[in-house]
Copies of this chain bind each other. A is one copy, B any other.
Amino acid sequence: MTHTWFEAHRETLDAALAASESRGYWSAYPEVPSGRIYGEDAKKDGIVAWKSRFGTQMGSDQPGITGWVDTERSPYGIETGIEYPTVDLDVVLPAAAAAADAWKHADIETRTGVCLEILHRINRRSFEMAFAVMHTTGQGFMMAFQAGGPHAQDRGLEAVTYGYREMTRCPASATWTKRVSKTDTITLEKTWRIVPRGIAVTVGCSTFPTWNGYPGIFASLVTGNAVIVKPHPGAVLPLALTVEIAREVFAEAGFDPNVMTLACDSSEAPIAQDLVVRPEVGLVDFTGGNVFGDWIESNATQARVYTEKAGVNSIVLDGTDDLRGTTGNIAFSLCLYSGQMCTTPQNIYIPETGITTPDGVLSFDDTAAAIVKAVDWFVSDPARAAEVLGAVQSEATLDRVGAAASAGGTVLRDSGSVENERFPNARTATPLILKVDASDVDVYQREIFGPVVCIVRTASTDESIQLAASTARTRGGLTAAVWSTDGDVLDQAADALTDAGVSTSCNLAGQIWMNQSAAFSDYHGSGVNPAGNASLCDAAFVADRFRFVASRVPVAAPVEESVT
Q: Which residues from chain A sit less than 8 Å from chain B, CB to CB?
A: 21-25, 166, 169-171, 174-178, 180-181, 184, 186, 188, 190-193, 195-198, 282, 297-298, 301, 304, 490, 494, 497-499, 501-512, 518, 521-523, 526-528, 533, 535, 538-540, 543-544, 547-554
Contact = CB atoms under 8 A, between A and B. Distances in A.
Contact of A174 (B23, B190, B198): B23
Number of copies of this chain in the oligomer?
A: 2
Contacts of A511: 180-181, 184, 186
A58 B23 CA distance: 48
Contacts of A502: 549
Contacts of A25: 176-178
Given A176-B25, A301-B298, A549 B528 contact: yes
Contacts of A544: 527, 540, 544
B539 A527 contact: no
Contact of A498 (B170, B508, B518, B549): B549
A528 B550 CA distance: 13
B510 A186 contact: yes
B547 A512 contact: no
A161 to B, nearest CB: 13
Contacts of A23: 170-171, 174, 176, 190, 192
A528 B197 contact: yes
A490 B176 contact: no
Contacts of A188: 512
22 contacts: A21-B169, A23-B171, A24-B175, A25-B177, A170-B538, A178-B512, A181-B511, A184-B511, A186-B510, A195-B528, A197-B528, A490-B553, A497-B551, A498-B550, A503-B551, A505-B552, A506-B553, A510-B554, A523-B549, A527-B544, A528-B549, A539-B539
Given A526-B549, A540-B540, A521 B174 contact: yes
A501 B186 contact: no
B554 A509 contact: yes
Contacts of A510: 180, 184, 186, 554
B551 A523 contact: no
A509 to B, nearest CB: 6
B543 A503 contact: no
Nearest to A171: B23
Contact of A549 (B22, B171, B190, B503): B503
**Residue of A188, A190, A508, A518 contacting most chain B CB atoms (<10 Å):** A188
A226 to B, nearest CB: 14
Given A24-B175, A498-B551, 5 more contacts: A186-B511, A501-B547, A504-B550, A528-B547, A538-B547
A553 B195 CA distance: 42
Contacts of A175: 24
A195 B550 contact: no
Contacts of A176: 23-25, 518, 521
